[in-house]
Amino acid sequence: MRARWTLVLGFSLALLVGVGAWVGVSALGGDDPRSPAPTDGDFAITASYRLTPDGALDPAPDERAQRVWDDFVRVATPAFVRSDVTTYRVGDDAGSDTLAYVISDDDDPTRWAFAANLAFADDPRLLLTTLVHEYGHLLSLGVDDVDTDASTCDTEWTGAGCLSADSDLQRFAERFWAGYDDAPARDNLDTDVGTAFYAAHEADFVSDYAATNASEDFAETFATFVLEPEIVGDSVLADKFRYFAELPEYAGARERIRAEFSLGS
């Protein structure tokens, strides 16, 4: 799918704690180090690379930048990256909270730029979780998923238009967010608001960051679904896992990524 998202979708080292493990989830066994970037990445871009038609980067990155890019391609697949991503940007700022982000391409808003803060590239588990979370955003915000001509929404607002009624993210929002009378606004990016909402409904979310808005819940839950053991039973979290398991694109991504990174069945 090709994305039409003009706001930054990223995560950071804000202290986020969840059920146990989006781009650290409580299920990863620790604090969740992700949150949305308040500006265009929140770290200085030191190098930018364009994707060539054959999937290479121009100019060629150094070893560390190339390694992160290679893992991103392994997560998203070479075919997806060639069709949907135009640019790779990197920074190296240990003082920034932001780990990575995706944003619509400056020249082609139907495609993506991906940026990574290389200061955090040497934590393999955190990096993989980050990449899967961002991939979840990419999968859920394609050309057919967003009406960019709309200015007011009966569906979820994406930052650049309204979600299509039959989009995976819209159905997720209707299934898991419509029942709350205290949910954050559709366009909420304030993690403090999300943390307060999470505190009232902790059992329903994989992390407090997931409670920021429906889009972050989607990406955060998808990352946990991919990287962690299945959750079964009658809980909201188990139902969210079943939601992804019943969609071939997401269930197939879980199987493929777990095999690619030797995470077991």
pLDDT tens across the length of the chain (265 residues): 333 333 345 554 432 222 222 222 222 223 333 333 333 447 999 999 999 999 999 999 999 999 999 999 999 999 999 999 999 999 999 988 788 888 888 898 889 999 999 999 999 999 999 999 999 999 998 878 887 777 788 888 776 678 888 999 999 999 999 999 999 998 898 989 999 999 999 999 999 989 999 999 999 999 999 999 999 999 999 999 999 999 999 999 999 999 999 998 6
In this predicted structure, what is the pLDDT of residue 76?
Answer: 98
50 within 8 A of 160, measured Cβ to Cβ = no
Asked if 180 and 29 touch (Cβ cutoff 8 Å), the reply is no
Round to whole Å and give the CA distance between 59 and 87.
11
- pTM, two decimal places: 0.85
| pLDDT recorded at residue 22 | 27
Token digits of residue 191: 């993690």
Beta bridge partners, 18, equal 207
